[in-house]
């Protein structure tokens, strides 16, 4: 990396250097990359309005109007032209915050919060003793009678983080975030003092990391929790 930076420092033409935010923080400390390169640029984070528009577009395109999404807390419908409920907007705000506005992370968290439920006929029937507001909430479920599938959006759930060998687990996760993905052999090379034999299977079982095409990576849906554990343990954090 030092050789590359030395070559770039005398290069007399425009160039682009790309890396993730975790790698950038590592390079700042390891080779003082920020002294030779300009401040990094990245995409603006997605707030709850952008997430709502994006998810709504995906849902409409994929389902052709045959799927309705309802908040499990107050039964309000997502992705309608009318303003969402306080609970719905609060959910999307939380999602934007938890994902740090990173679309890929937010999308994976959203997918993990979706649940299928068959709406019982009794739940769709009006009860004479119900309040008018409850009648209106239940009436939106009638879409199921027209062959429309109902999908419930539940509150974001936390994953169980293994407490055994936690320091080794965090070293593995920090390495994966810096490098984006690593094979087991590469992970051993960059974390030589870590007992990966037991740590990696435990993280895989907990859903904290995933294995794809022989490469390990931090599970997108686990990213918010991983950040919290790394920060609490005093690891160098990305700042973007």
| DSSP code, position 13 | S
Backbone angles phi, psi at 191, to 5 degrees: -130, 65
Q: What is the mean pLDDT of the chain?
A: 84
Please name the residue that has the structure tokens 């952008």: 50
> Distance (Å, rounded) from C-alpha 87 to C-alpha 73?
7
What pLDDT is stored for residue 72 in this prediction? 84
Domains of the chain: 48-153 (no CATH), 166-232 (1.10.10.10)
The residue length of the chain stands at 240
pLDDT band at residue 122 under the 50/70/90 scheme: very low
What pLDDT is stored for residue 150 in this prediction? 84
Say if residues 87 and 74 touch (Cβ distance below 8 Å): yes
127-146 residue pLDDT tens? 444 555 554 555 444 454 55
3-35 residue pLDDT tens? 888 888 888 899 999 999 999 999 999 999 998
- For the cut 90, the answer to whether the pLDDT of residue 221 exceeds it is yes
List beta partners, residue 114.
Answer: 153
What pLDDT is stored for residue 146 in this prediction? 54
């Amino acid at each position: 990396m030092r050789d590359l930076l030395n070559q770039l420092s005398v290069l007399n033409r425009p160039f682009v250097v790309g890396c993730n935010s975790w790698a950038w923080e590592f390079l700042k400390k390891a080779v003082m990359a920020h002294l030779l390169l300009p401040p990094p640029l990245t995409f603006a984070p997605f707030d709850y309005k952008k997430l709502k528009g994006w998810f709504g577009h995906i849902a409409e395109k994929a389902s052709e109007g045959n799927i309705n999404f309802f908040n499990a807390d107050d039964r309000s419908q997502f992705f309608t032209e009318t303003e969402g409920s306080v609970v719905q907007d609060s959910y999307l705000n939380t999602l934007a915050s938890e994902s740090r506005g990173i679309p890929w992370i937010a999308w994976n968290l959203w997918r993990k919060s979706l649940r299928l439920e068959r709406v019982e006929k009794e739940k769709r029937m009006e009860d004479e003793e119900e309040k008018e507001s409850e009648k209106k909430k239940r009436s939106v479920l009638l879409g199921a009678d027209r062959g429309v599938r109902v999908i419930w959006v539940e509150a974001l759930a936390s994953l169980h983080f293994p407490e055994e060998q936690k320091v080794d687990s965090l070293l593995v996760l920090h390495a994966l975030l810096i490098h984006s993905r690593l094979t087991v052999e590469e992970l051993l090379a960059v974390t030589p003092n870590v007992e990966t034999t037991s740590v990696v299977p435990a993280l895989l079982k907990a859903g904290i990391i995933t294995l794809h095409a022989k490469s390990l990576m931090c599970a997108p849906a686990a990213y918010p929790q991983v950040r919290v554990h790394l920060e609490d343990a005093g690891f160098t954090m990305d700042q973007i």
